[in-house]
Amino acid sequence: MTQAFAGLRVIDATHVLAGPFASYQLAVLGADVIKVESPHSPDQARMQGSDRKLNDAGMGTAFMAQASNKRALALDLKTAGGQEAFRRLAARADVLVQNYRPGAFEALGLGYDALSALNPRLIYCGISAFGANGPKREDTGYDNALQAYSGIMAMTGHGDGRPLKSGAQVVDYATGLSAAFAISAALYQREQTGRGQFIDLSMLDVSLTLLTSHVAGYTWNGAHPEAKGNRFPFATIGCYMAADTDLMISASNLAQQRRLWTVLGREDLIKTDNNQRLDDHKRESAALTDIIATRPADEWEAMLRRHRIPAARIRRMEEALNDPQVVQRGIVHRHAGTDAATEGLGVLVSPFQMSDSPAVVHSPPQPVGAQTREILAELGYGEEDQEKLRKQGAIA
């Protein structure tokens, strides 16, 4: 089957997690993604992950998580030769994604205005911590700093005055998905206009987007989101200790809370409107605490789900990955029959499935500059030209 982005060329001039994840989403849908990094200072994620030997080899799991299906080009963009090769690449590309500090690529002559003049159809996505304008435009930042800056950490935790970051890099990966969506929208619009455009994506803006409902509440009546741990406004949504471990219950709407109290034999606690639920939180919470403690979490999960009440025992990641539902969905791809560096590596593919153009992982993550000669040849660089670039230090 033809994939959604088959035939598109994407330049991935990004590093760490958010930017590489954006281009990875395009790569698994068929785009030819070319990972551009310096031969002297490659993507720092290559040196990060759960295996120190892989980190030392420049193939850390933090890098490989979103590096499949990409070709690797090593160019030093601080050299004239590297900049010229990058311009040739951009002139033939559909999309460029870069996540350096705003102004950095402009200083190299590789900003949107310069490259758009060479290729008016180019979609240029610039990802940065705070965006391309505003007083903090030149400041850098990572996921944890943005969680702190945006208010996410202040509302996470148990209300004991100790803010807590999310265990997952939610800002990084939400930024990557946002970028992939913005690029898809720009590609669609290009079909009507024939022109590319500049996409200015701020990690801070993404962080605030993750707080959408809380922002609306605060701007309406000043209701500031406070850290409440696993406690929700309704007692029938929350984490309760079963006989063996914790159970998360999510009887959210009125129909679900009615079914919950009926199943538990506490019809006296059924409410007819949400204000009653808010007012009776203390009594409902005490009842659930006592009842849920009487049985193992697995029994409760099975029983509640039979009555269409969302509930889940707390699971560690290794159990979640081996769950029959996850296995059936096929969201994890295992690299096999490729090379020793990636044999057995499991990577997530895409959070959605398309009937006519599925997301596919077809090639493993590549070492720094593994396809440099191949890609430069495609750009018209012969052996002598490549040797000149090598002497300049533009390539290794």
pLDDT in tens, the chain (396 residues): 799 999 999 999 999 999 999 999 999 999 999 999 999 999 999 999 999 999 999 999 999 999 999 999 999 999 999 999 999 999 999 999 999 999 999 999 999 999 999 999 999 999 999 999 999 999 999 999 999 999 999 999 999 999 999 999 999 999 999 999 999 999 999 999 999 999 999 999 999 999 999 999 999 999 999 999 999 999 999 999 999 999 999 999 999 999 999 999 999 999 999 999 999 999 999 999 999 999 999 999 999 999 999 999 999 999 999 999 999 999 999 999 767 778 999 999 999 999 999 999 999 999 999 999 999 999 999 999 999 999 999 999
The active-site residue out of 12, 32, 43, 172 is 172
Q: What's residue 250's pLDDT?
A: 98
C-alpha 188/C-alpha 132 separation (Å) is 23
C-alpha 52/C-alpha 70 separation (Å) is 23
Packing angle of the helix pair 170-193, 143-150 (nearest 10 deg): 90
Give the CATH number of domain 237-318. 3.30.1540.10
For the chain, the structural domain boundaries read 9-210+330-392, 237-318
Name the one residue in this structure whose structure tokens are 């619009």: 189
What's the topology of domain 9-210+330-392? Answer: Rossmann fold (3.40.50)
Q: What's residue 337's pLDDT?
A: 77
**Residue 172 appears among annotated catalytic residues:** yes
C-alpha 168/C-alpha 267 separation (Å) is 39
- Could you tell me which residues come within 8 angstroms of residue 359 by beta carbon, excluding any fewer than 6 positions away? 3, 28, 29, 349, 350, 352, 353
C-alpha 270/C-alpha 184 separation (Å) is 46
DSSP state at residue 49:
S
C-alpha 262/C-alpha 270 separation (Å) is 8
Tokens encoding 126: 């610039």
- DSSP lists the bridge partners of residue 95 as 10, 123
Q: What's residue 338's pLDDT?
A: 64
